[in-house]
Amino acid sequence: MNNGKRNRLVPLAIVLVFAAPMLLAVLLNYGGWQPGATRNHGILVQPPLDISAWPVTLTNGNKLDWRDPQWHWNLVALPNGQCGAPCQAQLAAVQRMRLTLGRNAERLHLLYLGPTLDASALQALVPLQAGADDAGAFAAYRPAQAGAVGLALVNPNGLLILRFDAGFDVAQVREDLVKVVH
């Protein structure tokens, strides 16, 4: 092959190396192909649900503002009925998991929306904040089993984006949180 022809093929080969993956991605997307599995452990809420108007009253009497200008996320614990010893153990595990986020732990607020916890249980779970779901808007996201607890992740814009059913693995919750709370 002579140098002139070779000099023209090198730039063409470089363009093909970079354009081929893009072309393949466009064709797969146009064909409707979607990956078979997701990488998150929780259940993705599609489309994200705007809950910024859902009223929640905290135990100190203040209303919760879902839209946070300081960019804090909310991990909401949603028990079904009274939160007995197994439920409180799950909440304690979530609280300990929050600490493992290191410097990002401050960016995640823990919120409990259920029947009133006694003062000693609430004190043991600090920094968890307790409140009341004033309109019962979270009823559809509570677990079906009595005494069980589920979780819901709300982003700083007040959008419910991810939920975890009863029996969730705290390590898997942490894996999902690390991806978004940074």
pLDDT surpasses 70 at 38: no
Domain 43-180 has CATH 3.40.30.10: yes
Up-side HSE of residue 93: CA atoms within 13 Å toward CB? 17
Average pLDDT for the chain: 90
Q: Which residue has the tokens 């700083």?
A: 156
Query: Which of the residue ranges 7-11, 97-101, 124-128, 143-147 has the most confident prediction, judged by mean pLDDT?
Result: 97-101
Separation CA 56–CA 1 (nearest Å)? 75
- Where exactly are the structural domains of the chain? 1-34, 43-180
pLDDT one-digit tens code per residue, 14-33? 988 999 999 998 998 888 88
Question: CB–CB of 143/160 below 8 Å?
Answer: no
What does the buried/exposed string (b/e) look like for 56-84 if buried means 16 or more CB atoms within 10 Å of the residue's CB?
Answer: beeeeeeebebebeeeebbbbbbbbeebe
C-alpha to C-alpha distances, 139 to 80, 85, 108, 135, nearest whole angstrom = 9, 22, 23, 9
Q: pLDDT value at position 4?
A: 67
Question: CB–CB of 154/51 below 8 Å?
Answer: yes
